[in-house]
Amino acid sequence: MFETIVGQERVKKFFRRVFSEDKLSHSYIFAGKDGIGKSAVAFELAKALNCPNNNCRKCSDCKQVLSLQHQNLHLVFPLPSVEKGEKNPIKSLSESELEQVKNEISQKAKNPYHQISVSKAREILIQSVRNLASELAFSIPEHNYSVVIFFQADKLNQNSANAFLKLLEEPPQKTLFILITESPKTLLPTILSRCQLVRFDLLSEDEIKNYLLEKGFSEEESKKASKLAGGSLQTALEIVNLDLITKFEEALNFLRVVVVCEPTQVLDLAKNLSKREKNELESLFKLTMNWFRDCLLLKAERTDKHLVFETYRENLQKFSQRYHFANENQAIEVLEKGIFSINRNVYVNLLLTDLIVQLNRAILPR
């Protein structure tokens, strides 16, 4: 059990114990950051509960679960809202949307660390919950176990969450609910109190690095990506495909402009950057944030810790000596605010100009 899952030793130990002592509850909340293996564990559980010969990975049951096509496996996730009166939210999808949903599910089957996201989908609909209730009522599996997985369970809205309560408390026999969420605290207290909360850990740098090495990435690439991933395997996979050196250089260039703060340069840079994709800017901000955090770490003399800008350690040291009075905390706050507002509708050019000036003030306090 759980052979293919990276890290999460505590969770694995928990479920092994639950199985050996036959103490499986009927409802769990899997809480933790995206891309660290919550769904992967959920799929493994579904497989273990439905395989007639002790989790063989070869029988048709196992294969069906792994391709997410097993009849006992119910997946619930946010869908675009439906017209009034329509009972089945899947039926009211347009052809292209249906295609997208299918595509997302098959991607999820290939890589459990993938995030399912359907465009225009904001909430888990009450229709989905009602559908689920009737499906479960009619399909009482003889030998097997119905496993219901909610992705982004925090997207349950007021109506759907309340409609789910009775089912969640006393489901039909042999039913397992798994609610996957990044932020369990946003769920209704009535839902929380009905489920066991299983926390998932961020993956360690080594765990991510080894996974990437196995996938055939180079030592250097894996090392850098694992440092920047922030514990998420999915993020690591995204990062490793980018050209990291240019990213670093870009961040340094950005800092250079910030330090000099010469008006024409600032305006040019802001103009150029504002043409970029928002997520690229976000990763630039995050990287710059890491620079300041590294400065703090250097100042705190936590040099045993790995710095993100390890390869630029010299520059880092020079920087923190030269700008001895720089207020890193303020800089981090400014960047945090920048990330916050860039994801909302702002005029990027203006935001960038202001951000650069503010950063300059943080580095060179008057």
Partner 1 sequence: MSYLVTARKWRPQIFDDVVAQESITTTLKKALETNRIAQAYLFSGPRGVGKTTAARILAKAVNCENRNDGNPCNKCVSCENSFSGRGMDIFEIDGASNNSVDDVRELRESVKFPPLTSKYKVYIIDEIHMLSKPAFNALLKTLEEPPSHLIFIFATTEPHKLLPTVLSRCQRYDFKSIPIEEIIERLRFISTEEGIKIDEGSLHLIAKTANGGMRDAQTTFDQVVAFCGNNVKLEEAQLAIGAFSEDTFFEITYAIKSKEIGVVFKTLEKISNGGFDLVEFAKGLTEHFRNLLVCSSLGNANLVPLSEFYRKKYLEEAQAFTTKDLVRLFDKTTLLESGVRHAEQQRFFVENSLVQMVKMDKGIEIEALISRIQDLKKNFENLPKSSISSFAPNENLLVKTENHEPAGEKETSKPEEIVFEDENLLEQLKKKVSEEIQILAQEFQKSELESFKEQIFTLRIFLRSDFIKKQFETNKKNIEDFLCELSGKNLRLKLTYVEEAVTEPQKTSENDTKKLTDPIIEEALNLFGGKLEKL
Cα separation, 298 vs 242, in Å, equals: 27
Q: Minimum distance from CB of 152 to partner 1 (Å)?
A: 17
Alpha helices, DSSP H only, in the chain? 9-20, 38-50, 60-66, 95-110, 126-138, 158-169, 189-192, 205-214, 219-228, 233-240, 244-260, 263-273, 278-299, 313-322, 328-342, 348-363
161: left (phi over 0), alpha (psi -120 to 50) or beta: alpha
Q: Is 262 in the site for partner 1 (CB under 8 A)?
A: no
Cα separation, 330 vs 293, in Å, equals: 11
- Contact residue for partner 1 among 85, 189, 216, 263 (CB under 8 A): 189
Mask of contacts with partner 1, 51-90, x by CB under 8 A?
----------------------------------------
Q: How far is CA 327 from the centre of its chain?
A: 31
Cα separation, 109 vs 248, in Å, equals: 33
Q: Which is nearer to partner 1, 112 or 184 (CB)?
A: 184
Q: Minimum distance from CB of 162 to partner 1 (Å)?
A: 4
Q: Is 246 in the site for partner 1 (CB under 8 A)?
A: no
Q: Which is nearer to partner 1, 80 or 231 (CB)?
A: 231
Cα separation, 191 vs 27, in Å, equals: 10
Q: Is 174 in the site for partner 1 (CB under 8 A)?
A: yes
Q: Is 278 in the site for partner 1 (CB under 8 A)?
A: no
Q: Is 361 in the site for partner 1 (CB under 8 A)?
A: no
Q: Which is nearer to partner 1, 25 or 272 (CB)?
A: 25
Q: Are 86 and 92 in contact (CB under 8 A)?
A: yes
Q: Is 45 in the site for partner 1 (CB under 8 A)?
A: no
Q: Is 185 in the site for partner 1 (CB under 8 A)?
A: yes
Q: Is 190 in the site for partner 1 (CB under 8 A)?
A: yes
Q: Is 297 in the site for partner 1 (CB under 8 A)?
A: yes
Q: Is 6 in the site for partner 1 (CB under 8 A)?
A: no
Q: Is 182 in the site for partner 1 (CB under 8 A)?
A: no
- Contact residue for partner 1 among 31, 65, 208, 355 (CB under 8 A): 31
- Contact residue for partner 1 among 1, 97, 116, 201 (CB under 8 A): 201
Q: Is 200 in the site for partner 1 (CB under 8 A)?
A: yes
Q: Which is nearer to partner 1, 23 or 275 (CB)?
A: 23
Of 69-77, 101-109, 265-273, 285-293, which part binds partner 1 (CB under 8 A)? 285-293
Q: Is 21 in the site for partner 1 (CB under 8 A)?
A: yes
Q: Are 136 and 173 in contact (CB under 8 A)?
A: no
- Contact residue for partner 1 among 111, 115, 131, 159 (CB under 8 A): 159
Cα separation, 358 vs 333, in Å, equals: 10
Q: Minimum distance from CB of 68 to partner 1 (Å)?
A: 25
Cα separation, 117 vs 105, in Å, equals: 10
Which amino acid, 162? Answer: N
**Residue carrying structure tokens 């700008």:** 323
Q: Are 26 and 169 in contact (CB under 8 A)?
A: no
Q: Is 14 in the site for partner 1 (CB under 8 A)?
A: yes
DSSP-assigned states of every residue in 188-231: -HHHHTTSEEEEPPPPPHHHHHHHHHHTT--HHHHHHHHHHSTT
Partners of 198 in beta bridges: 30
User: What SS3 state is found at 236?
Assistant: helix
Q: Minimum distance from CB of 274 to partner 1 (Å)?
A: 20
> Would you tell me which residues interact with partner 1 (CB under 8 A)?
10, 13-14, 17-18, 21-26, 31-32, 129-130, 133, 159, 162-167, 169-170, 173-174, 183, 185, 189-190, 192-202, 204, 230-231, 286, 289, 293, 296-297, 299-302, 305, 329, 332-333, 336, 339-340, 343
